[in-house]
């Protein structure tokens, strides 16, 4: 069974600080996605990474896929209150018939 573990589970930091959240697995994934979910809403796709070592940037967010395609990280620079939410990583499973989600990192940015 492929599993994705996210850390930390909860993170509360001051506005303007930097942070990194991690998504790790012992399995190889053909692609990995990061989503953000706000209360009462469905997850919204932020990025998909496919190639080992790939780095993608989305404004103040930097996503990296590990060389072995088993792990990924999300780095936020100069966090803002609007970044508050649940961040989920998800990987395409070995059969590529579905995506498997990590347990999420709940991020809170204090003004």
Q: For binding to another protein (CB under 8 A), which residues are involved?
A: 6, 30-31, 33, 35, 40-45, 48, 88, 90, 92-93, 95-104, 106
Minimum distance from residue 83 beta carbon to another protein (Å): 18
Residue 106 to residues 6, 26, 57, 80, 109: CA-CA distances in angstroms?
A: 10, 23, 21, 14, 10
Minimum distance from residue 22 beta carbon to another protein (Å): 14
As given in the structure block, the two tokens for residue 34 are 């990061």
Which residue's CB is nearer to another protein, number 98 or number 111? 98
Q: Which helix (H) or strand (E) holds 89?
A: strand 85-92
């Amino acid at each position: 069974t492929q599993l994705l573990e996210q850390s930390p589970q909860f993170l509360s930091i001051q506005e303007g600080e930097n942070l990194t959240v991690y998504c790790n697995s012992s399995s190889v994934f053909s692609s990995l996605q990061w989503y953000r979910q706000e209360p009462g809403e469905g997850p919204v796709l932020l990025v998909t990474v496919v190639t080992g070592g790939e780095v993608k940037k989305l404004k103040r967010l930097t996503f990296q896929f590990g060389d072995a395609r088993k792990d990924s990280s999300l780095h936020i620079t100069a966090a803002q209150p609007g970044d508050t939410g649940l961040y989920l990583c998800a990987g395409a499973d070995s059969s590529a018939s579905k995506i498997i989600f990590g347990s999420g990192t709940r991020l809170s940015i204090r003004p």
